[in-house]
Amino acid sequence: MRIGIVCYATIGGSGVVATELAHALAYRGHDIHLISAELPFRWRWGTPGLTFERVDTPSYPLFNEPQYLLALTNTLVKVSRRHKLDIIHAHYAVPHATAAYLAHDILASESERPPRTVTTLHGTDITLVGSDPSFASVVAFSIESSDGVTAVSESLRRDTQTALGVRRDIEVIPNFLECSEYHRLNDTSLRERLCAQEGCQAIVMHISNFRPVKRVGAVVEIFRRIREQVRARLVMVGDGPDRLAAERQAAACGLSDYVDFVGEQHDVVAWLSAADLFLLPSAQESFGLAALEAMSCEVPVIASRVGGLPEVIQDGVTGYICDPDDIEGMAQRGIELLRNDALRQRIGRAARNDVARRFCTDIVVPRYEQFYEDVLAGRVHR
């Protein structure tokens, strides 16, 4: 199949999933065009069958606002004409589903076989941004107009119905990762370096884009309570708007010597392999790709009972989920796990096995291929 995949290049799960899907589909013999404003974070050069198509948004002195929707639509039309795309697959509805809809209409006016459109909903494109009254009508219309729609969790499928009143069929296809790459490494050098100064007993980790929805302040507070009982270190991977506030909070609690803010890191597997515990106390999380990555590296996750996280983590079996406001409960679970090696290893291994059973590339990518075939054959209902 010839497929155009549209995504954001900024660090975020939707761009990661779209880029990994593009690579996996190219390896499986499809002709893939990844369309984005920048090279995505996870892009790897040299994959046969995979081409990058840049969206250039020109500026003009009259405009205060960049005309990204128009530039993207125009790129979709150009790439579709040149490569005779079968499918345009938009990741993140805002405004990618709208661009796909517009491109489809332009191409339908000149061809009997315009590309079919597929939209994958990721989370905040519905729960925070898409349902904002400034966008809701156009987002709902664009989702209804897609030839096929997928959501990364059952929870997001329901949210799309309730928040936007969308009634059409939505297929749930979960996020995935390459299980042969995401596994715990034996190399302990990073862990030793992190613990060198004070001989810490455990590493607690958080990875995110430090936006308010991730509640990095709650991560620091949970760690403060853990640290009262266990000589642990907190490693904060990533960057974003709430990083400075979290650093100040750690300093105000007298924790500066025990918390490392290490910024954005490409080798996530090496970092996760140094961790004993992963905290994800988000306010909302339609899937929680970071939790999946940690689980695949045998790191037990303590997360909020919100959105799609209960579909990823089986409470008490492959990790723990707590009420988002239950900071004390999360801290107690953390202390329990860090004090009990057997429990921590059992949960870590169960997490890894569950990821291998449900969320590996070879299990999930064929579901996208089947979905594309169903869309092309007209078997998907709006």
**Considering only 13-21, 99-107, 195-203, 347-355, which stretch makes contact with ligand GMT by CB under 6 A?**
13-21
Residue 320: what residue type? Y
Contact letters for ligand GMT, residues 307-346 (x by CB under 6 A): x---------------------------------------
Between 294 and 335, CB nearer to ligand GMT: 294
How many residues in the shown chain lie near ligand GMT by CB under 6 A? 18
Find the shortest distance in angstroms from Cβ 254 to ligand GMT.
31
- Which listed residue (102, 226, 250, 289) binds ligand GMT by CB under 6 A? 289
Query: Which residue stretches of the chain are H helix?
Result: 13-27, 68-83, 93-108, 124-127, 136-145, 154-164, 189-195, 216-227, 243-252, 268-272, 289-296, 309-312, 327-339, 341-358, 361-376
Nearest residue to ligand GMT on Cβ basis: 123
Strand-pairing partners, residue 208, are 238
Measured CA to CA in angstroms, residue 194 lies from 157, 182, 220, 299, 340 at distances of 41, 21, 17, 17, 21
The Cα–Cα gap between 294 and 288 comes to 10
* Out of 4, 5, 14, 250, the residue judged to bind ligand GMT by CB under 6 A: 14
User: What single-letter amino acid sits at 2?
Assistant: R
The count of other CB atoms within 10 Å of the CB of residue 311 is 18
Question: Does position 300 bind ligand GMT by CB under 6 A?
Answer: no
Within 149-188, the residues that bind ligand GMT by CB under 6 A are 152, 175
Q: Which among 54-62, 65-73, 120-128, 215-223 is the span making contact with ligand GMT, rule CB under 6 A?
A: 120-128
* 213: contact with ligand GMT by CB under 6 A: yes
For 111, how many CA atoms within 13 A lie in the half-sphere containing its CB? Answer: 16
**Which spans of this chain sit near ligand GMT (rule: CB under 6 A)?**
12-15, 17, 122-124, 152, 175, 213, 284-289, 307
